Structure 1
């Protein structure tokens, strides 16, 4: 199976390396500058157990296209528009597409473009770019996939993703899993971005009740959409976001604090729109969006 990994950032570089090390045929779709770096230096992946650099296959949107069997979309939502305009040349009638992004808007857009070819994907990994190297900070590396709209995951796709170093699983309700993760990261974004501090400092300032309110808001939207968060998912969210002394901050908050392009509209804006359509009140979410939008450069 020929696999195209769209993006060679933290997520794409980590999963692409592990797939390549298992003998999978992996190619990266990247920008020309990134292609030059990868051709010259290879892709370096630093995990908690190893530091290695591999030569990799790359293509750019300008290269002669040919269809791939499986496409993993691993970019952030801020790069999605550009990607949607580029991957079409690499999609054949039998290509399976798995987007690994937060939220749900990307699933809807891809499904409109490639009906019946999109699968749900959910990754759990803590990794970042350190220069041009991918650095994984904790050992957790999991990939969950599932069919959408009653479809199933093809056996060859499931087999291709089942490699050492990745806790790979196929689930029957991937949409529910995506909503559960979305509810958590949205709650975390609300908490950190509204109060502009890590979890521990917010609790010290008397904010635990507001943290619980934020969790309730996002989970209420998920429930109204028909995808209630599981008891285990709720307990995990409360545990992570109310831990005394915790230095936890969301990636959304870190991007905004650093002045980087953020997924605020993809994660929070889209959730707020769906909440309005579902008549679910989300006062903390709405306040957070006002604060983020008002602070952006004109």
Structure 2
């Protein structure tokens, strides 16, 4: 199976390196500057006390000449339109597209362009970041990735991808229940991003404040109320995991959106992750004042960064 990964950043680079080291046929679609770094140093991932390095086969936009079997889409939501144009030449009759984005709005765009039957669902639970030196830092103790067709039907590409991941240390599963997993991840990341970005702290730090625990309870309740009203109530294990992750007084976790703020990122995915959830919740008659406050806070950040 020939795999094309859009970008070689925190997510795409991490999973691409794992697959490439295990012998998978992986190519990275990157910008010229990133291609130069990868040609010189290869892909470098610092993970679980190890430094992993592997050569990276790259291609630039405009150089794609034939379709791939599977295309990984690991861009930020606000780059989706340009990403679609970049990968379009790689999409053939039998190509499957695997977007690893939070939220659900991207499916409307991808389905309209490429057809829902070829757009898989994908969810990952991992903490990674692209460092200034071009290396990738994997900071979570483990990682999990789930993928599959959204209608639950078998997918040959999902099966082959699971077989490829089985030769790595990645906890990867092809599942017929990817849709519940997508909504559960959205609820978790919206609550976590809203909370840690609004409070500008880690979960453990928030738990030390006088009103932090109550704020956390409130934002979790709001998020769960919205997704439940939309017909996708999280299963109990997902609810338990959300509570564990967002209330642990010893936790150093913060959503990547909060980390982006700390690094003065030029733009945040607030509209795709929080804004869209709020809009859908409002249509379902669910009010979420804490999540709305976080949304306004993050919109102001984007506005100020845009000048």
Please confirm whether the aligned pair reaches a TM-score higher than 0.5, indicating the same fold: yes
Residues 164-203 of structure 1 show CA distances to partners (whole Å, capped at 9, x for unaligned) of 2111112222111011011011111221233333333433
The 10-residue stretch of structure 1 (178-187 or 148-157) with the greater mean CA deviation from structure 2: 148-157
Q: How far apart are 1:69 and its partner, in Å?
A: 0.5
Q: How far apart are 1:209 and its partner, in Å?
A: 1.7
Q: How far apart are 1:110 and its partner, in Å?
A: 1.2
Given candidates 169, 173, 194, the residue that maps to 1:169 is: 173
Gaps of 5+ in 1: none
Q: How far apart are 1:214 and its partner, in Å?
A: 0.5
Q: How far apart are 1:292 and its partner, in Å?
A: 2.1
CA RMSD for the aligned pairs? 1.8
- 1:289 and 1:146 mapped to 2: Cα distance? 30
Label 1:189 to 1:29 Cα distance change in 2 as closer, same or farther (>3 A): same
The 10-residue stretch of structure 1 (40-49 or 61-70) with the greater mean CA deviation from structure 2: 40-49
Given candidates 249, 266, 272, the residue that maps to 2:272 is: 266
| Partner residue, 1:197 | 201
- 1:112 and 1:59 mapped to 2: Cα distance? 26
| Number of aligned positions between the proteins | 298
- 1:44 paired with 2:44, answer yes
| Partner residue, 2:257 | 252
Mapped contact 2:153–2:176 kept (Cα < 8 A) = no
Q: How far apart are 1:245 and its partner, in Å?
A: 4.9
The 10-residue stretch of structure 1 (39-48 or 175-184) with the greater mean CA deviation from structure 2: 39-48
- 1:151 and 1:31 mapped to 2: Cα distance? 35
| Partner residue, 1:28 | 28
- 1:50 and 1:248 mapped to 2: Cα distance? 21
- 1:187 and 1:120 mapped to 2: Cα distance? 21
Equivalences for residues 231-250 of structure 1 within 5 A: 231-250=236-255
- 1:70 paired with 2:76, answer no
TM-score of the aligned structures, taking structure 2 as reference length:
0.91
The 10-residue stretch of structure 1 (52-61 or 158-167) with the greater mean CA deviation from structure 2: 158-167
Mapped contact 2:150–2:176 kept (Cα < 8 A) = no
The 10-residue stretch of structure 1 (9-18 or 143-152) with the greater mean CA deviation from structure 2: 143-152
| Partner residue, 1:133 | 135
